[in-house]
Amino acid sequence: MKLALKKTFGKIRLSWPLLVLVVFYGYLGLHAFSGSLGVFKWADYSKRAEKLNAELARLQSMRQTLERRATQLKASSLDLDRLDEDARRTLNVSGANDIVIWLDETP
C-alpha cells in the first residue's frame, strides 16, 4: 500500500512542471485568440476601419463644400448675391416684398 502511494506521489512530483507548462500555454493560447490584440479583435478593428474610412470620405466632401463657400467670400472673387443670401439666411431677415425660396444645398 505504501509503495503504491509512493509511486503515485512520485509521478505527481515529476509531472507537475509539465502540468504548469500546459496551463501556461493554454493561457497564452486563450489570449492569442480573445485578448485585446487577439485574432477576434483584429476582425473588430477592420470593421471599425471601414466605418472610419466612410466617415473620413464624408468629412472630406463637407470640407470641400466649405472651402468652396469660403473662396466665394474672398475679396478677389466676392459674390455680392451670395453674401446677401448668406446674410439673409443667417439673420432670418427679408424685405416686405421679398419672396424667399430656400433650396437644399446638399450636393
In a domain, 23, yes or no: no
Higher per-residue confidence, 64 vs 16:
64
In a domain, 78, yes or no: yes
Comparing 23-37, 56-70, 72-86, which segment has the lowest mean pLDDT?
72-86
Residue holding cell 493561457? Answer: 27
Residue holding cell 485585446? Answer: 36
Rounded Cα–Cα distance for residues 62 and 68 (Å): 10
User: What is the per-residue pLDDT for 82?
Assistant: 77
Angle (deg, nearest 10), helices 2-34 and 39-72:
20
Q: What is the pTM of this model?
A: 0.47
- Mean pLDDT for the stretch of residues 59-72: 90
Domains in the chain, number: 1
Task: Domain of residue 84: give its range.
Answer: 51-107
User: What is the per-residue pLDDT for 55?
Assistant: 97
